[in-house]
Chain A
Amino acid sequence: MARPASRDTSLTVPASFSAVNRRSLLRGALGAGALLTVPGALAACGGDTATSGGGGASAAPGPVKFGMNEAKGSGPAYERLQAMADAYAQKAGVEVSANAVDHNTFQESISTYLQGTPDDVFTWFAGYRMAQFAENGVIADISDVWPIDGLSDAFKEASTAPDGNQYFVPVSYYPWAVFYRKSVFEKNGWAEPTSLDELNALMEDMQGKKVTPFAFAAKDAWAPMGTFDILNMRLNGYDFHMQLTKGEQKWDSPEVRNVFQTWKTLLPYHQENALGRTWQEAATSMANEECGMYLLGTFVVDGVPAETQDDLDFFTFPALDASIGSDALDAPIDGFCVAAATDNEEAAKAFIGWLGTAEAADAANSSASAPFIAANSNASTEAYGALQKKSAEVVQNAKSIAQFLDRDTNADLANTVITASIQDFLKNPDNIDSITTSIQQQAASILG
């Protein structure tokens, strides 16, 4: 019985998604269309200058349970969440009881968590992973805490499920880009490439100097998805990426095969034997000057020795197709949701509305040993290092922001099918046709 039922619900997904996509073609800038989805939201927007810093001003604060995906004492990420909880407890005069579970366990047991005894407000991700829960009714509609002062329309769209309502409040993000060591580039007279030709010339020159152009690791199966994403967005564009991840485009289409084909031509410029290497080892080989560049998220700084951290800089992957340009990138957004099972929705909404404000971001960044890049544009950037300032700039200038392949699509498809297929491709780069066909078959059965 469960099967036909789930097929029914998933049948409705593409319809509503495609509605959003038609609009996304119409509008010039990212996100503006999200407002059109809900006529009511437009009215609410009219006088949004009156909205206080507290976001959902209507909801009354009360004691809340706060589920965080960082273990107690595990580092800056935990410190920031705890600082926000403390600041809210102090400001609103309520008790915030925190439940700190380590990141991976929290993520892996999210569905038993939500069906069991979830906390009122919990940390989660934007994109398909949020939309899936919204559709299953395990997270609550919080469209009345929106708009939140300082969160742009792009963030609002990332918080919107296919039904047009908001289920998410973003707090921070981190972009994926090509990292390199400034001193190494300077020493060799290399410059950030802005076109495919310049990139090719740079890679050739690096190889001539016995430096592997790209550090590369695929032992953490999600890591090579970053390369796939950026090639896909450069060759086929952001809209194709979104359609592909929602099942509206086929994995065995000529476009996807072209991505793998291009990747195959770039593989000789990547580190060999990537399947046996973790991203930390790849980052280390960039730090050792064995490799020139590394395409990864900003967390790459954790993987290089402390003394090289300040030497890092990055550029966005250059355009591969002039008609598509290079204004899309992966920048996964982290934030919060309200569990549908909560028996104290008012208090939860008051809390989550506040979590989206600049005040919350500042509370987090001022007391943690390392800051995040706040989603709220009014947040102070005082604590940011050079990399974070540049990241914020790059993301603000980007026209389209994707959430990363495994956050933009069904988790089962991403984590079991695509990861294995990409590893398969790295082992046998000549089998593109059979690999893409197999992904498509499995995608069809998972996405319905």
Chain B
Amino acid sequence: MSATTAPPTAVGTPRVKERGPGGGVINRRRGSVATVIMLVLAIAWLFPLLWALYNSFREYSYTQVNGYFSVGGWTLDNYQEAWSRGNFGLHLKNSLLITVPAVALTLFLSSLVAFVLARFSYRFNLTLLGVFLAANLLPPQALLIPVFRMFREIPLPTFMSESGTMLNSFWALIFVNTAFQMGFCAFVLSNYMKTLPHEIYESAELDGASVWRQYWQLTMPLVRPALAALATLQVTWIYNEFFWATVLISRGEKFPVTSALNNLRGQFFADTNLVAAGSIIVALPVLIVFFVLQKQFVSGLTLGSTKG
């Protein structure tokens, strides 16, 4: 971050000269400039969020009369009402039922792909990786109609889906999310697996380990940091997913929590403070996941970016 905010002149000058006695990449003056810029950016990003948080603790009738820049009208009712009106208990459960299987399936399938791509050198390895990545570049909106029609034609037994098709079932969301996230996961995991020393696979071969065993008992424990980082990212992304849920689900009680946030708005009238409280509730699980697994998250961003 700091490297990109430094003035462009730094590019032309040799790097060695820039390193002062302090040993950092940028000198003190540039460091403080970077800090100020980052501070401004951070405030610009955080301000709307904090303002929403602030107003979520205030009554609509108070802010309606006094405006949003006022102080006062404190209440906790917004949270209580958002929880009950938005029916968040049910919808958080729906989100859980979609996110957990989708993340597990994504990681499992993409680690299989990554293992093959990293461990064996077939001629089509690069093509295969390219295909997986290409799917990542495709905007999901472009696939809206084909996926919708396809899912409408796929029958499911009624114990899996009341509608009798993939539409209106959690399966649809689990599969769609898995498909869209696999490209990225396969890419990161295969790059990470390529950094594992080849020698350990040779010794494993010598000890008579099958390919499956090399994957499950050797590779998987070694890529655990990468899996943890990806799991954090994937939980965040799939939990926040909004588009497919509104397209593939049309039964009110099956919406994940992100789509259910709309329940707090009426046909015409919207209590903005209530919506703010609801948004905070919806954002909380992601924040918790992020702060608990922050270390993995940050290190995960650079995972696989360098091949050892």
A residues at B contact (CB < 8 Å): 67, 69-75, 77, 99-105, 108-109, 112-113, 115-118, 279-280, 284, 288, 297, 299, 302-303, 305-306
Are B263 and A74 neighbours in the complex by a CB distance under 8 Å? yes
What is the chain A residue whose CB lies nearest that of B151? Answer: A116
A297: which B residues are within 8 A, CB to CB?
A: 268
Nearest chain-A residue to B144 (Cβ)?
A112
Residues of chain B from 225 to 260 with CB closer than 8 A to chain A in the complex: 246-247, 250-253, 255, 259-260
- Asked if B163 and A117 make an inter-chain contact with CB atoms under 8 angstroms apart, the answer reads yes
Whether, in the assembled complex, B266 has its beta carbon less than 8 Å from a beta carbon of chain A, the answer is yes
B156 → chain A closest CB, angstroms: 11
B267 touches A77 (CB 8 A): yes
Could you give 15 example pairs across A and B, Cβ below 8 Å?
Answer: A71-B252, A72-B263, A73-B84, A75-B266, A99-B252, A99-B253, A102-B263, A103-B266, A103-B267, A104-B262, A105-B255, A109-B246, A116-B152, A116-B163, A302-B266
Q: Chain B, 275-300, contact with A by CB distance < 8 Å: what is the 0/1 string? A: 00000000000000000000000000
B65 within 8 A of A: yes
Cβ-closest 8 pairs across A and B: A71-B263, A302-B269, A100-B252, A117-B163, A101-B252, A103-B267, A102-B262, A299-B268
* A102 surroundings in chain B (CB, below 8 A): 252, 262-263, 265
Which of B64, B250, B252, B270 meets A72, CB within 8 Å?
A: B252
Evaluate contact between A279 and B268: CB separation under 8 angstroms. yes
Partner of B250, one of A75, A113, A306: A113
CB <8 Å contact, B165 and A117: yes
Q: How near does chain B come to A370, taking the closest CB pair, in angstroms?
A: 12
Instruction: Type the 1/0 row for B16-34, where 1 means its CB is closer than 8 Å to any CB of A.
Output: 0000000000000000000
User: Which of chain A's residues have a CB closer than 8 A to the CB of B263?
Assistant: 71-74, 102
Choose from B61, B152, B269 the contact partner of A115 (Cβ within 8 Å).
B152
Q: Enumerate chain A residues within 8 angstroms of B61, measured Cβ to Cβ.
A: 305-306
Q: Which residue from B85, B250, B267 sits with its C-beta under 8 Å from A117? A: B250
A69 to B86, CA, bound (A): 15
* Residues of B close to A303: CB separation below 8 A: 268-269
Whether A299 contacts B269 by the Cβ 8 Å rule is: yes
Q: Which of B84, B85, B165 has the most CB of A within 10 A?
A: B85
The answer to whether A284 and B64 have CB atoms under 8 Å apart is: yes
Report the minimum CB–CB distance from B90 to chain A (whole Å). 9
Q: What residues on A are CB-neighbors of B167 within 8 Å?
A: 116-117
Q: A116-B167, A117-B168, A302-B268 are in contact. List 4 more A-B contacts (CB 8 A).
A: A72-B252, A73-B263, A112-B247, A279-B268
Query: A237 vs B281: C-alpha distance in the bound complex, in angstroms?
Result: 50
Report chain A residues within 8 Å CB of B136.
none
Give B contacts to A, CB under 8 Å.
61, 64-65, 84-87, 148, 152, 163-165, 167-168, 246-247, 250-253, 255, 259-260, 262-270
Pairwise interchain contact B267-A299, C-beta atoms closer than 8 A:
yes
CA distance A280 to B61 in the complex (A): 12
Min CB–CB distance B240 → chain A (angstroms)? 17
Given the known inter-chain contacts A116-B168, A280-B270, please indicate yes or no for A99 contacting B251, CB distance below 8 A. yes
Contacts of B247 in A (CB 8 A): 109, 112
| Cβ-closest chain B residue relative to A67 | B250
User: Which residues of chain A have C-beta atoms less than 8 A from B163's C-beta?
Assistant: 116-117
Judge whether A72 and B253 touch: CB under 8 Å.
yes
- Determine the distance from Cα of A279 to Cα of B165 in the docked complex, in whole angstroms: 41
Which listed residue (B64, B250, B265) contacts A109, Cβ 8 A? B250
* A117→B247 CA distance, assembly (Å): 12
Given contacts A109-B250, A284-B64, contact A116 B148 (CB under 8 A): yes
Q: In the complex the two chains form, what is the Cα distance from A299 to B247 in whole Å?
A: 29
Q: Would B268 and A74 count as touching, CB distance under 8 A?
A: no
Contact status of A280 and B148, CB under 8 A, knowing A72-B252, A74-B263: no
Shortest Cβ gap from A72 to chain B (Å): 6
Residues on B with beta carbons closer than 8 Å to the beta carbon of A99? 250-253
Which B residue's beta carbon lies closest to that of A117? B163
A73 to B88, CA, bound (A): 12
Quote the shortest CB–CB distance from A296 to chain B (angstroms).
Answer: 9
Q: Cβ of B270: which chain A residues have Cβ within 8 Å of it?
A: 280
A280 and B269 form a contact (CB under 8 A): yes
A305 touching B64 in the complex, CB below 8 Å, given contacts A73-B84, A73-B87, A117-B163: yes
Q: List the B side residues contacting A284 at CB < 8 Å.
A: 64-65
The CA-CA distance from A310 to B190 in the complex, in Å, is 68
Q: What is the CA–CA distance of A113 and B86 in the complex, to the nearest angstrom? A: 21
B225, chain A: closest CB distance, angstroms: 39
A67–B249 CA distance with the chains assembled, in angstroms: 13
Closest chain A residue to B263, Cβ basis: A71
A288 to B67, CA, bound (A): 12
A101 to B250, Cβ gap below 8 A? Answer: yes
**Which residues of the other chain, B, contact A115 by a CB distance below 8 angstroms?**
148, 152
A77 touching B266, Cβ below 8 Å:
yes
Q: Which B residues are in CB contact (< 8 Å) with A69?
A: 267
Contact indicator A105/B268 (Cβ below 8 Å): no
Alpha-carbon separation in the docked complex, A1 to B62 (Å): 56
- Asked if residues A104 and B65 are in contact (CB atoms below 8 Å), the reply is no
> Please, which residues of chain B bring their CB within 8 A of the CB of A75?
266
Residues of chain B within 8 A (CB-CB) of A112 are 148, 247, 250
CB distance from A319 to the nearest CB of B (A): 28
Q: Measured between C-beta atoms, what is the minimum distance from B35 to chain A in Å?
A: 34
Q: Tell whether A74 pairs with B165 under 8 Å between CB atoms, given A99-B251, A100-B252, A101-B252.
A: no
CB distance from A404 to the nearest CB of B (A): 12
Question: In whole angstroms, what is the CA distance A388 to B263 when docked?
Answer: 26
* B268 A73 Cβ-Cβ under 8 A: no
Bound Cα distance A74, B84 (Å):
10
Shortest Cβ distance from residue A122 to the other chain B in the assembled complex, whole angstroms:
10
Give B62 Cβ to nearest chain A Cβ, in Å: 10
A306 to B269, CA, bound (A): 14
Q: Which residue of A lies closest to B261 (CB)?
A: A102
Q: Give bound CA distance, A73 to B87, whole Å.
A: 8
Q: Looking at the assembled complex, report how far the CB atom of B14 sits from the nearest CB atom of chain A, in whole angstroms.
A: 51
Q: Which residues of B contact A306 (CB under 8 A)?
A: 61
Chain B residue, CB-CB nearest to A220: B268
Chain A residue contacts of B152, Cβ below 8 A: 115-117
CA distance A115 to B267 in the complex (A): 23
Q: Verify B266–A116 contact, CB threshold 8 A.
A: no
Q: How far is the CA of A109 from the CA of B86 in the complex (A)?
A: 19
Instruction: Provide the residues of chain B in CB contact with A299, threshold 8 Å.
Output: 267-269
Among A69, A102, A118, max chain B CB count under 10 A is at: A102
Contact of B246 among A67, A77, A105 (CB under 8 A): A105
* A72/B87 in contact, CB under 8 A: yes
Query: From residue B68, how far is it (CB to closest CB) to chain A in Å?
Result: 10
Bound together, the chains give a CA A227 to CA B103 distance in angstroms of 50
A279 to B87, CA, bound (A): 27
What residue in chain B is nearest A73 (Cβ atoms)?
A: B85
Q: Is the CB of B269 within 8 A of A116?
A: no
